[in-house]
A = this chain, B = another copy of it.
Amino acid sequence: MSMMKGNAVIGQSGGPTAVINQSLVGVIETLKGCKSIPKILGANHGVSGIVKEKFIDLKKVDKTTLERVADTPAAALGSSRDKPDEAYCERIFKVFEKNDVRYFFYIGGNDSADAARIVNEMADAANYELRVFHIPKTIDNDLRVTDHTPGYGSAGRFVASAFAGDDRDSASLPGIKINVVMGRHAGWLTAASVLGKIDETCGPHLVYVPEVPFNVNQFVEDVRETYAKLGRCQIAVSEGISDETHTPIAVNLAERLGHRVERDSHGNVQLSGSGALGDFLSDFLKSNMKEKYKTLRVRADTFGYLQRSFAGYASSVDQIEARQCGRKAAELALAGDSDGSIVMIRAKGNTYKISYKRAELKDVARLTKDMPKTFLNKAGNGVTQAYVNYATPLVGELPKLGKLF
């Protein structure tokens, strides 16, 4: 198949990651030399930038800047929370026709894969030749088909190092320490909290994820038990932990305190950018343990946006893979593939090795992937060795720590 002539559009969408710009640069560097693609247009703030025709020509960006951008967290093109419906996608398609856009690369999560899918179907229906590729990104690691998502390893590296250091801090000044980790529906990132343990006496001693219904009374029991044994307790909690009725614990709190519950354009409740859940759990523990432990020290930290945006601490494995996902999408498009989502397939066996493949957009769009039961312990308050084996190669090298007591 001959190389299609026309312009390319690249957009970034959803919550950014530390390596989403690696994928961006992977696409740009692969397309840059192609004479059949006169312009590589970067859409400012994803689909919203497309419909407003807010573009910059990425062919004009020099290599030094591109490499710095690749190493910079967050979406260098600007991101968007818009979830395009049919009418929105129609506007996108019209802009593409008007600007002779024949290649569309959309870096994002499952919602972005779905937007790409809709635009692709419209192009098909209009008999307009368009190459549409979704490039995965999310710190949540909750996309289907792919072994893991670009962005997860770097966020996991941050979380693992944060817990490892905080555990030593908590051992220095013992007490109960709660750390709230991002993860609305899936516990992948919270699970990464265990990856930096020096030994089994180190925290996190308890790990709670959204996949397991959270019972506040069982929580107090778990903490009491650890505290009685070790004289301290470090706890990892997903922001999205929910009770048996699937109501987030954070929402329970907001309603209890009479706060307005903020929702985004997707109808999701705001869980990040607030310390409320950690403070609630902290207060709950204090009031339930104060009779036995009069001077109990309880602290809560909410890691917040640092998990996805901290500069200078990405996983080198994640950086390489995110770059390669961008390149692969561009290569497939140039080679004549009309659409797809890039997925990473892990080789069987003990040596970590990834190959990059094409999946159908519809198989990645919309639905998400929770942690499997084999990665969670029976008590519902920890992760298994199988998870550790799965995740260790993704976070790159962790600092080698030591202890005296």
Is A65 among interface residues, defined by CB-CB distance under 8 A? Answer: yes
Asked if A273 meets B302 with Cβ closer than 8 Å, knowing A72-B403, A173-B79, A403-B69, the reply is no
Query: CA–CA, A15 to B173, complex, Å?
Result: 8
Interface contact A402-B168, CB-CB below 8 Å: no
Q: Is the beta-carbon distance between B169 and A305 smaller than 8 angstroms? A: yes
Beyond A71-B399, A73-B168, A276-B275, whether A161 also contacts B79 by CB under 8 A is no
B78–A171 contact, CB under 8 A? yes
The reply to whether B272 and A275 form a contact with Cβ atoms under 8 Å apart is no
- Contact of A404 with B173 in the complex, beta carbons under 8 Å: no
Partner of A401, one of B71, B401, B404: B71
Tally of chain A residues near chain B (CB < 8 A): 71
Q: Does A156 contact B (CB under 8 A)?
A: no
- How many angstroms from the CA of A348 to the CA of B344 in the assembled complex? 55
Inter-chain contact B303/A274, CB cutoff 8 Å: no
Report copies per complex.
2
Whether, in the assembled complex, A193 has its beta carbon less than 8 Å from a beta carbon of chain B, the answer is no
A279 at the interface (CB under 8 A from B): yes
CB-CB under 8 A for A313 and B313, given A74-B172, A81-B173, A304-B302: yes
* B interface footprint on A56-99 (CB within 8 Å = 1, 0 otherwise): 10100100011111111111111111000000000000000000
Q: List 22 A-B contacts (CB under 8 A).
A: A15-B173, A42-B404, A56-B404, A67-B402, A68-B402, A69-B402, A69-B403, A72-B168, A72-B399, A72-B403, A74-B165, A76-B403, A162-B310, A162-B311, A165-B310, A165-B312, A169-B308, A177-B305, A301-B302, A311-B399, A311-B401, A312-B399
Residues of A at the B interface (CB closer than 8 Å) are 12, 15-16, 18, 42, 44, 56, 58, 61, 65-81, 161-162, 164-166, 168-169, 171-173, 177, 196, 259, 272-276, 278-279, 282-283, 298-306, 308-313, 398-405
